[in-house]
């Protein structure tokens, strides 16, 4: 699969599973008092970039999450993100992000199976730099061509490696399984000619 095709499928997986959020998701960032938004939890400058792509979004640029809540505008922001224009902007931005994820993950030794690349790519909104470094540091001891191996390593080690709070560990473990089930069941045969999961050696 090409970079564009892999990026498309990573974006599709993020939207369909909702593991990062729905189109209208808005929460307070764990890194500061600013909104984390949409189906890929864009925040900070990346969040402002998303808002600049949506008509009416400029009113929320460079504002704190607390300010938006206290002004009674939280539902307005959610509705804006869930509008046709908001969803289209998120799809456009996500597609570009996912191609960056693929190019970064191509630096990981032996991560050359399409399904494994998609699986790893669906973790990248948490930080594609962290995901790439996480996998590179473990490439010598796990099979990068096995989705089961990737699922287990993300389930058991990623939350700690990414320095997330301990109360988030179970959520990351759930994400590892949800992502595995999604990618294992995805039809990559009809459009790309990639065999169904479990029907070829690399997928075992």
For the whole model, what pTM was predicted?
A: 0.88
Look at residue 164 in the predicted model and tell me its pLDDT.
Answer: 85
CB of 29 closer than 8 Å to CB of 46:
no
Residue 33 and residue 52 in contact, taking contact as beta carbons nearer than 8 Å: no
Helix (H) or strand (E) holding 27: strand 26-28
pLDDT recorded at residue 199: 66
Farthest CA pair distance, the chain = 56
User: Edge-to-edge, what's the strand order for the sheet holding 42-43?
Assistant: 26-28, 35-37, 42-43
pLDDT digits (tens), the chain, 204 positions:
999 999 999 999 999 999 999 999 999 998 899 999 999 999 999 999 999 999 999 999 999 999 999 999 999 999 999 999 999 999 999 999 999 999 999 999 999 999 999 999 999 998 899 999 999 999 999 999 999 999 999 999 999 998 888 998 999 999 999 999 999 999 999 999 998 887 655 544
The reported pLDDT for the residue numbered 203 is: 44
Cβ neighbours for 58, distance < 8 A, ≥ 6 positions apart: 51, 52
* Nearest in space to 9 (alpha carbons), one of 86, 95, 127: 95
Q: For residues 61 and 13, give the distance between their C-alpha atoms in angstroms, rounded to a whole number.
A: 28
- In this prediction, residue 182 carries a pLDDT of 97
Q: What is the pLDDT of residue 198?
A: 76
Where along the chain do its domains lie?
3-203
| 34 contact partners, CB below 8 Å, separation of at least 6 | 28, 43, 44, 47, 63, 64, 65
Q: Which of 199, 204, 162, 155 is nearest to 177 (CA)?
A: 155
Cβ-based neighbours of 181, under 8 Å, separated by 6 or more = none
């Amino acid at each position: 699969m090409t970079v564009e095709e892999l990026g498309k499928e990573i974006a599709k997986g993020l939207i369909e599973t909702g593991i990062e959020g729905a189109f209208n998701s808005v929460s307070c960032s764990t890194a500061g008092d600013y909104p984390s938004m949409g189906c890929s939890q864009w925040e900070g400058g990346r969040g402002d970039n998303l808002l600049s792509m949506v008509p009416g979004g400029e009113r929320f640029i460079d504002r704190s999450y607390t300010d938006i809540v206290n002004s009674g505008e939280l539902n307005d922001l959610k509705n804006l993100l869930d509008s046709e224009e908001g969803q289209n902007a998120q799809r456009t931005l996500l597609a570009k992000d996912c191609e960056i994820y693929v190019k970064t993950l191509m630096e990981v030794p032996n991560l050359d199976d399409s399904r494994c690349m998609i699986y790893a790519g669906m973790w990248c909104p948490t930080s594609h730099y962290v995901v790439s470094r996480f996998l590179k540091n473990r490439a010598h001891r796990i099979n990068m061509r096995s989705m089961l191996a990737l699922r287990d390593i993300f389930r058991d080690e990623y939350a700690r490696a990414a320095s997330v709070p301990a109360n988030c560990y179970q959520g990351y473990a759930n994400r590892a399984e949800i992502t595995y089930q999604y990618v294992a069941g995805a039809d990559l045969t009809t459009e790309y000619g990639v065999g169904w999961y479990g029907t070829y050696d690399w997928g075992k």
